[in-house]
Amino acid sequence: MDHLTTTKHTTDTEATDTQQIAGQKRDASAITTVSSRESSTISGEGLEIRKESKGEGEAKRPKLGEEQTSSNRSDNNMTLIEETSMEGRQCFVTVGATAGFRPLLSEVIKPEFLNCLADSHFDLLKVQCGEDFEWFDEQVKSLPSSPVTIERFAFTENMTKHYIRSRGEKSVRMPGVVVAHAGSGTILEVLRLQVPLVVVPNPTLMDNHQAELAQELESTGDAVYGRLGKLTEAIARSLELVAQGPLKLKDLPPYSPPPFPVPDSERVTLFDWMTLTCYPDELRKQQHLQDLRNVEKSFQRESEQAKVRQTETVQDRRQRDLD
């Protein structure tokens, strides 16, 4: 189940009040909202909600490192979203369930990364933290402000719903991005859902073979290779691919779950691909064999086309002889 925490920073006065929403039975999630306005409490069975009430003249949310009087780009972002009547972009960061990835978690809450998201019309940063949830939660709470809402949770039994929130849908939702560790299961799921993907290898795992996988995915145009210390560049590259790429990820139809059970042919192919990513040499060998098979098919097509042309030439000659 999710244990979800949300932090939304606004700046109005020198002091801020922290309100928490906890105990939802459905997702067992806890949501924390940081606000500068008074709150009211709504109680129900197993549910306590503190709902913020915004007053008139509430100050704009500044970027990290900016003074309160500075212009706020996120307000322009919200205006754009309201004008188009579409949901804003979500950046979903996932570190997986098997190992921690603090360098990635640290980078996605740096001022330059958060400001990059706001400048690119993102309004939500959602982070799956794994075993480092408590540590990450403290890091977020220590932020002086943030131009985007930050949600975080440790683990969940349903990652798909979080991926889909970053999936573009025509006239409904702006395409966002998933920033993920280079786990094969995560990569396959995100690509299947047609969600923009930035793959960030964890250099401490498996002799850094994840970097090879990330490079391969970038070379095929399936994902962006995200490097620690340069994630803002990866976000910009991902948005560029969405805008200019051939996949039209911003105009997708509504998501429809695949049929179940998955056909045997697809299930075997999926399993083989996941297994082979753990053995780069064997994967390259299989890819080479597939390339050879493709070449053979291409040769067969050309041979068939040549036969057709030859047949047409003979028929043309006979027709000329008859004329």
Q: Please report the pLDDT score of residue 25 as a whole number.
A: 32
* Token output for 116: 């990059």
Regarding whether 246 and 294 lie in a shared domain, the answer is no
DSSP 246: T
Instruction: Provide the token pair at 58.
Output: 């509430």
Instruction: Characterize 165-184 residue by residue with b for buried, 16 or more Cβ atoms within 10 angstroms of its Cβ, and e for exposed.
Output: bbbbbeeebbbbbbbbbbbb
Are 71 and 213 in the same domain? Answer: yes
pLDDT tens for residues 237-275?
A: 999 989 887 667 878 888 888 776 666 555 556 556 666
Residues 154 and 286 in one domain: no
Percent of the chain with pLDDT over 90: 36
Pairwise pLDDT comparison (204 vs 280), residue with the higher score: 204
Residue 254 lies in a domain: yes
48: nearest Cα among 20, 73, 72, 13: 20
Residues 199 and 161 in one domain: yes
**Is 211 part of any domain?**
yes
Q: Domain ends where: 218, 234, 262?
A: 262
Radius of gyration of the chain from Cα atoms? 25
Contact indicator for 17, 36 with CB cutoff of 8 Å? yes
DSSP characters over 90-149: EEEEE--SSS--HHHHHHTTSHHHHHHHHHTTEEEEEEE-GGGHHHHHHHHHT-S--SSE
CATH code, domain with 244: 3.40.50.2000
The whole domain housing 32 covers: 1-53
- Domain annotation covers residue 170: yes
| pLDDT the model gives residue 68 | 39
Whether residue 284 sits in one domain with residue 247: no
- Residue that wins the pLDDT comparison between 313 and 151: 151
- Split into its structural domains, the chain has a count of 3
- At 28-53, the pLDDT tens digits run 333 333 333 333 333 333 333 333 33
pLDDT digit string, tens, across residues 161-193: 999 999 999 889 999 999 999 888 899 899 989
Torsion of CA 134, 140, 142, 146, to 10 degrees: -170
Q: Is residue 209 part of a domain?
A: yes
Contacts 24+ apart (CB under 8 A), 155-162: 155/1, 155/2, 155/3, 155/97, 155/128, 155/130, 156/1, 156/2, 156/128, 157/1, 159/94, 159/128, 159/186, 159/189, 160/189, 160/193, 162/92, 162/94, 162/126, 162/128
Q: Based on the domain organization, do 255 and 157 belong to the same domain? A: yes
Comparison of pLDDT for 26 and 116, the residue scoring more: 116
Query: Does 103 have pLDDT greater than 70?
Result: yes
Are 141 and 30 a contacting pair, CB within 8 Å? no
Q: Round to whole Å and give the CA distance between 174 and 172.
A: 7
Question: pTM here?
Answer: 0.61
- Helices (H) and strands (E) counted in the chain, each on its own, are 10, 11
pLDDT at 225: 96
Does 271 map to a domain? no
Question: Within this chain, do residues 111 and 3 fall inside the same structural domain, yes or no?
Answer: no
Indicate whether 38 and 172 sit together in one domain: no
pLDDT top residue among 265 and 94: 94
pLDDT value at residue 7: 66
Is 200 within a domain? yes
- Answer whether residue 139 is part of any domain: yes
Average model confidence (pLDDT) across the chain? 74
Interval 135-159: pLDDT, tens: 999 999 999 999 999 999 999 999 9
* Residues 223 and 92 both lie in one domain: yes
Q: How far is Cα 140 from Cα 120, in angstroms, rounded to an integer?
A: 21
User: Is the domain of 39 the same as that of 77?
Assistant: no
Claim to verify: residue 47 and residue 65 sit in the same structural domain: no
Q: Which residues contact 156 (CB under 8 A, 6 or more apart)?
A: 1, 2, 128, 162
315 and 182 in a common domain? no
Question: Is residue 268 domain-resident?
Answer: no
